[in-house]
Amino acid sequence: MTTSTKPEDTANTYRRIDKIFGNGQAFVALKSDGTLVSWGNELFSAIEQNQDIRNEDFVTIHSNEYAFVGRRSDGTLIAWGDERYGGKLPAEYDYSSNPIKGVVANEKAFAAWRQDGSVMVWGDKLHGGSLA
């Protein structure tokens, strides 16, 4: 087992777990304090690889076969995992005035709907990651 936690934190890492989410490569657990802990293949699970991730205030996680997306209480999203399959949000992603209400995933892509009812997609184009 490969873990994305630091060894000195292991004793308390797997406590206060509310939900566990998985994909074909790894698991991510949502803790009661809104933080995340992950284990499995670090390419697909390691939250720390993305320096932009503030590991707090998560309300739910979504996953496909190769990536994870975390949604925070303010409607913002964070994605990690294989960038080809949704592990990176589109560059034009802007939620400042239009928060995300929900997310769904298939094997290699994600779709999200915003507060105004609009949809954004990302991931593999052949699996719905493009509206074009």
DSSP H helices, 25-125, are 42-45
Point out which residues pair with 60 in neighbouring strands: 71
Give pLDDT tens digits for 49-92. Answer: 554 566 789 999 999 999 999 999 999 898 989 999 999 998 88
In residues, how long is the chain? 132
- The amino acid sitting at 105 is A
Among 68, 80, 66, residue whose Cα is nearest residue 25:
66
Q: Quick: pLDDT tens for 107-122.
A: 999 999 999 999 999 9
What local confidence, expressed as pLDDT, does residue 3 receive? Answer: 42
pLDDT score at 22: 92
The Cα 94–Cα 120 span in angstroms is: 10
CA atoms within 13 A on the CB side of 50: 23
The model carries a pTM of: 0.83
